[in-house]
Amino acid sequence: MRLLLVGISHRTAPVELRERVDFQTRGVDRALQALAARGSAREAAIVSTCNRAEIYAACDDAAGAREELVSFIAEFQHVNRAEIAPHVYERTDLDVARHLFRVASGLDSLVVGEPQILGQVKDAHTTASESQTAGPVLNRLFPASFAVGKRVRTETGLGSGAVSVSYASVALARKIFGDLRGRSVLVIGAGEMGKLTALHMKSHGVPQVTIVSRTMAHAARSAEEIGGSAAPWDELDTILARSDIVISATGASSPILTKARVEAVMRPRRDRPLFLIDIALPRDVEAAAGEIEQVFLYNIDDLQATVRENLARRESEVARAEAIVSDEVEKFGAWLRSRSAIPTVVALRQRFETIRRAELERLEFKMAALPSDARARVDEITHLIVEKLLLTPTEQLKALGDADTVGAYAEALTRLFGLQPDKPRDGEQPADRGNVEPFPRPGTRTPR
Amino acid sequence: MNAVPLALYVAAFVAYAWHFARRDASVGRTATTLLAAGALAHTFAIGMLTMEVGQVPIRGATSAISMFVWLLALAYLYTELTTDERAMGVFILPIIAGLQVIPALRPVVETRSAVLQGPLFSLHVSSLLFAYASFALACVIGITYVLLFKEIKAKHLGFFYARLPSLQALDRMNQRAIVIGWVFLTLGMIVGVVWATQARGYADVAPQVQAMSLQDPKILVALVCWAIYSFELFAARRIGWGGRRTAYLSALGFAIVLLNFVPISYFFTKSHNF
């Protein structure tokens, strides 16, 4: 069984094309059903985000399936094949595992280390499970990728630090105030940037947002949009006095909050902290206001500098994350290789079982006189002997390092025991190779 | 007997420092385990001594230090378990390991004096030791507050920013430790006064009792501590002080506590050297 990946992402395709092949618009589950109906892959899962559309498949013939999957994307999304073909990349076998592990840990993301992608990979697996297109290989591959994502998150700093200005403000506010519930936010100015930051604060639990603007109507409209309240300009000082976080983003040409004004606001507050976020250009808050005890002043440049620092820090963690990915690819590879021994293991088991049954049948007339519980014991003992005999060879086969050695062993076993790996033997259920358990579960033995 | 806990405390300090630098969760758990093991070994050492001398060993200055270290270790472990914050360990362990050196090097001599029998004396000493442990925690929390405050204020979000809890949380933890410490300090001092009046009857066998006055450095400095922490509480509640100001006061208060606890106990006091 081969692993195959065909997809496009922000690295290979422009946003216009990505939008057109977004599987989410018509439903990932429908796409999986359509793909299953074509029968080119034994297993399939689709990872679909606004930055990528990737089909993960397990198939017998990788080269044929590749062409088939590209055609599928073109036909399903009603896009010209020639149009998407240059943007499509493909991976096979362990490179597929490496790619998915990198995706799940955020290494392949537009913003390195962003956390949403892990959830999106999990969704992809859930949808594939529900559509019954995930089989033993993908059911091993995807959970392994979740584990990689988790390891990278906990063992490296790849996902740490805010990487957008509004998130950086929230992170700072949380470092000053702890919990943001019960804090009040004041937005000065009715611009987009101020609203965006305020919305971010709200999503982190701030219950109260007040907007003050020189034009009351603008303030009222913005307040309505984000679910806050508006207040007239001349109440600015009163509201300042009771606010914890102030986001200032007006178009004023000279500072609105001078040091003297902030000092006057701080006097009755004593040591209650005030976080001033100045995202206006030119500045709304006099830089000297940041000297006041318990006033924390950050302007847009400061916030952007922390974002840049965080991005640099994430970059420096990439090597450690890649090492984890390699480590996990290795483990997955070992599992995948152990699977190539499965047909031989199954054939060997079937051979032994056939001999056991034939011998028991041959002795049937001699055992006829025995009580039924004694006959059951004979059946049990012979079964146990077969199990014991097969235990070591099975373990050894599954632990083999590379495909060539597995092939050589399989060849030798086939000759020594006269096996026919690909054909189910007399009366056995013809089983999908992929789903065969090398050991039968207890209780599944056929009664004589 | 006190060397085993010392070794474990030192090992715990190394682990806490390693955890603080690298932020490796498993190292952090190891640090907590080592500290808990140290506290357990310490419990055993104190327990053995108690059985040996037939009373809880808090009468000599050295055994009081050992007891203080033990209480501080337990108080810190409690804080860590309730707040799930390990970052403070790297600051508290030097105090624990550093003070434990004294009982590890000096033999603990427990005096058996008739004047020191009775529940009042035990209550006096154990209240004060617990108050000191609280103040030690408050001091460390205050120092970390200032470190984090400076980073945020200077817009250089680095080492401490990534490792410490929020300023608000540190401020709250500091205030709580001060309140608990102040209550036990007050209780310990009142009980001490009551005990000293009763002990007057033993003045002929214990000359120290006669030195129980404000002129004695141990008592005087204890009063100074009480004044500082009382002011800190008053300022926090009535004037609205918090943050850096209370953090500095906590550090100052504990510096004086430490001064009173070690050098004054050993070299200067005439009233508290039984």
Residue ranges of chain A whose CB lies within 8 Å of a chain B CB: 154-155, 160-161, 172, 174-179, 269-273, 290, 293-294, 296, 298, 302, 305-306, 309
**pLDDT at residue B138 greater than cutoff 90:** yes
State how far the Cα of B121 lies from the Cα of A430, in Å rounded to an integer: 86
Compute the average pLDDT of residues B29-45: 94
Domains along chain A with CATH numbers: 2-155 (3.30.460.30), 165-306 (3.40.50.720), 341-435 (no CATH)
Which residues are paired to A318 by β-bridges?
none
* Chain A residues touching residue B152 (CB < 8 angstroms): 172, 175-176, 296
User: Could A176 and B239 be called an inter-chain contact, meaning their C-beta atoms sit closer than 8 Å?
Assistant: no
Q: Is the pLDDT of residue B185 over 90?
A: yes
Q: How many CA atoms, within 13 angstroms, populate the side-chain half-sphere of residue A359?
A: 11
Confidence of residue A8 (pLDDT cuts 50, 70, 90): very high
DSSP structural state of residue B155: T
Per residue in B216-235, pLDDT tens? 888 888 899 999 999 999 98
The residue in chain B having the minimum alpha-carbon distance to the alpha carbon of residue A300 is B155
Q: Record the tokens describing residue A5, joined without a space.
A: 């990946």
Contacts of A269 in chain B (CB under 8 A): 240
Give the residue extent of every domain in chain B.
Answer: 1-112, 114-274
3-state secondary structure A176-222: HHCCCCCCEEEEECCCHHHHHHHHHHHHCCCCEEEEECCCHHHHHHH
B165: closest chain A residue by CA: A175
pLDDT value, residue B260: 83
Using one digit for the tens of pLDDT, what is the confidence trace for B235-257? 888 887 888 898 999 999 999 99
pLDDT of residue A422: 53
Rounded Cα distance, A194 and B38, in Å:
52
**B10-25: average pLDDT:** 90
Please give the pLDDT value at position B220.
Answer: 87
- Report how far residue A115's alpha carbon sits from residue A247's, in angstroms, rounded to the nearest whole number: 26
Confidence of residue A414 (pLDDT cuts 50, 70, 90): confident
Closest approach of chain A CAs to the CA of B236, in angstroms? Answer: 9
Q: Which residue in this structure is represented by tokens 């094949």?
A: A81
pLDDT higher than threshold 60 for residue A29: yes
For B83-129, write each residue's pLDDT tens digit.
Answer: 888 888 999 999 999 989 988 887 766 666 666 777 888 888 889 99
pLDDT at A423: 44
Task: Give the pLDDT band of residue A441 (cuts 50, 70, 90).
Answer: very low
pLDDT tens digit string along A295-353?
Answer: 999 999 999 998 998 888 888 899 999 999 999 999 998 888 878 778 888 888 999 99
Chain B nearest-CA distance from A259, in A, is 16
State residue B109's pLDDT score: 67
| pLDDT attached to residue B114 | 65
Interchain pair A270, B241: CB under 8 A:
yes
Decide: B206 and B199 in contact? Cβ < 8 Å: yes
Residues A132-184: pLDDT tens digits? Answer: 999 999 999 999 999 999 999 988 888 888 888 888 899 999 999 988 998 99
CB nearest B240 (choices: A272, A298, A302): A272
Question: What is the per-residue pLDDT for A431?
Answer: 41
Retrieve residue A329's tokens. 């690819």
Q: Which tokens belong to A367?
A: 């055992």
As given in the structure block, the two tokens for residue A18 are 């990505």
Q: Among partner residues B153, B162, B168, which is closest to A296 by beta-carbon distance? A: B153
Range A355-359 average pLDDT? 92
SS3 for chain A is: CEEEEEEEECCCCCHHHHHHCCHHHCCHHHHHHHHHHHCCCCEEEEEECCCEEEEEEEECCHHHHHHHHHHHHHHHCCCCHHHHHHHCEEEECHHHHHHHHHHHCCCCCCCCCCCHHHHHHHHHHHHHHHCCCCCCCHHHHHHHHHHHHHHHHHHCCCCCCCCCHHHHHHHHHHHHHCCCCCCEEEEECCCHHHHHHHHHHHHCCCCEEEEECCCHHHHHHHHHHHCCEEECHHHHHHHHHHCCEEEECCCCCCCCECHHHHHHHHHHHCCCCEEEEECCCCCCECHHHHHCCCEEEEEHHHHHHHHHHHHHHHHHHHHHHHHHHHHHHHHHHHHHHHHHCHHHHHHHHHHHHHHHHHHHHHCHHHHCCCCHHHHHHHHHHHHHHHHHHHHHHHHHHHCCCCHHHHHHHHHHHHHHHCCCCCCCCCCCCCCCHHHCCCCCCCCCCCCC
Contact at CB, A306 and B243, closer than 8 angstroms: no
pLDDT for B205 equals 65
- Contact in structure between A346 and A438 (CB atoms under 8 Å): yes
**AA letter at B238:** R
B242/A290 CB distance under 8 A? no
Give the residue-averaged pLDDT of B156-178: 88
- The per-residue pLDDT for A211 is 93
Q: Given B25, B157, B166, which is nearest A178 (Cβ)?
A: B166
- Partnered with residue A212 across adjacent β-strands are A188, A231
In chain A, what residues touch B24 (CB-CB under 8 Å)?
155
Q: Tell if the CB–CB gap between A293 and B161 is shorter than 8 Å.
A: no
Model ipTM? 0.82
Q: Give CA–CA dist A352/A346, Å, rounded.
A: 10
**Confidence grade of residue B2 (pLDDT, cut at 50, 70, 90):** confident
Q: Report the distance separating Cα B125 and Cα B61, nearest Å.
A: 11
pLDDT of residue A95: 94
Q: Is the pLDDT assigned to residue A45 strictly greater than 50?
A: yes
CB contact under 8 Å between A270 and B161, yes or no, is: no
What is the per-residue pLDDT for A253?
87
B148 touches chain A (CB under 8 A): yes
B152 touches chain A (CB under 8 A): yes
